[in-house]
Structure 1
Amino acid sequence: MSDVAGASFQERMAALLDKEAVADVIRRYAYGIDTRDEALVRACFDPDADIVGTVSSGPLRDYLPRLLEDVNGYGATMHQLGTQLIDVHGDRAAAKSYAVARHFRDPEGTEEVFVVGVRYDDSLRRDDGGGWHIVERHVVPIWRRTRAESEQR
């Protein structure tokens, strides 16, 4: 319920709780990637989710192992979420979330390899238990800066 004009207090509270629950799914995804917690990342998605990523695309069962293999090639990553727009309509939600993802060669984060700015365009669905899951994700690359580019400045 994105339009709260004329809504009751209970409806407005339900809308806020739904938006927070959707935002929490996206935060858990970022935390799961950065901590290499496959179970946490997988729990953010519907098992039949489709993803269009920056490196590969496909159904979750194919996409997630490739993503985790790629992420595990870095000593550390840090995803910082920024602006989010979330619209909830019943048991469906659309979310646009900006993120800056830093990728480091070493676990201590002293050797940055690259930084990327992306937008996650997500479609989510509420399951029968009331939990939200991403059913479709499109990762939109916005900018990318490598270490070599930074050192040239």
Structure 2
Amino acid sequence: MQQNQLSLSDEAQIRWMLERYYFAIDAKDEAIMCSCFAKDALIVYHTGEKHEVRLNGHAELMKYLHSGIAWNGPSIHALSNSVVKVTGANTAKASAYAIAHLVVEGKVLVRGLRYDDSIVRQGESWVIKHRDHRSVWQYEAQNLPSHLPGR
């Protein structure tokens, strides 16, 4: 295998880590969430046209998530597509698009999201060292009762 090529196992582990992130945010699972990030990770949430929130490490990330809409109500994040590229022996970059459905004040906020990550190998695991999180588009929809009509 060439030096600048991920093994299928490495790529699968990185994609699995990205999927665990989505599960962690929807399940509100701090342990899984933190396992996706390096302890000293830098996470940048672009929260508006010219606004951003910069978080350093697990403690700041969890404090921010606990104060936000995704952690304080029902949500579903679904990976749409992603690409993973090797950048060194123990480093990679990933870009992913996802769709998030968040229940906020009785409405469903539907958001198209983009994640750009710098990823490092720590021991046997791959973790996010730097993340840029951006909203690409969003809209609101009516929240209906969660039962099958006529049943």
The two structures have a TM-score, normalised by structure 1, of 0.78
| Alignment partners' CA distance in 1, 2:71 and 2:10 | 32
- Alignment correspondent of 2:28: 36
Structure 1 segments, 4+ long, off by >4 Å, are none
More strand by share: 2
The two structures have a TM-score, normalised by structure 2, of 0.79
| Alignment partners' CA distance in 2, 1:24 and 1:73 | 25
| Alignment partners' CA distance in 1, 2:25 and 2:127 | 16
1:145 maps onto 2:143 in alignment = no
1:15-26 mapped onto 2 (5 Å cutoff)? 15-26=7-18
More helix by share: 1
1:116 maps onto 2:111 in alignment = yes
Residue 53 of structure 1 aligns to a residue in which SS?
Answer: strand
- Alignment correspondent of 1:66: 64
Question: Once the two structures are superposed, what CA deviation does each residue of 1:65-117 show, in whole Å capped at 9, x if it has no partner?
Answer: 1113312322x1000001110012320010001000000249xxxx5420110
Specify every segment of 5 or more residues in structure 1 that has no aligned partner in the other structure, as ranges: 1-6, 149-153
- Is the CA contact (8 Å cut-off) linking 2:46 and 2:134 kept in structure 1? yes
| Alignment partners' CA distance in 2, 1:54 and 1:120 | 11
Read off the aligned partner of 1:19 and give its amino acid letter.
E
| Alignment partners' CA distance in 2, 1:15 and 1:72 | 34
- Alignment correspondent of 1:79: 77
Identity %: 29
Residue 138 of structure 2 aligns to a residue in which SS?
Answer: strand
Residue 147 of structure 1 aligns to a residue in which SS?
Answer: strand
Read off the aligned partner of 2:110 and give its amino acid letter.
V
Q: CA RMSD in A?
A: 2.2
| Alignment partners' CA distance in 2, 1:64 and 1:95 | 22
Read off the aligned partner of 1:102 and give its amino acid letter.
H
Question: Once the two structures are superposed, what CA deviation does each residue of 1:21-51 show, in whole Å capped at 9, x if it has no partner?
Answer: 1111110000000000011001100000001
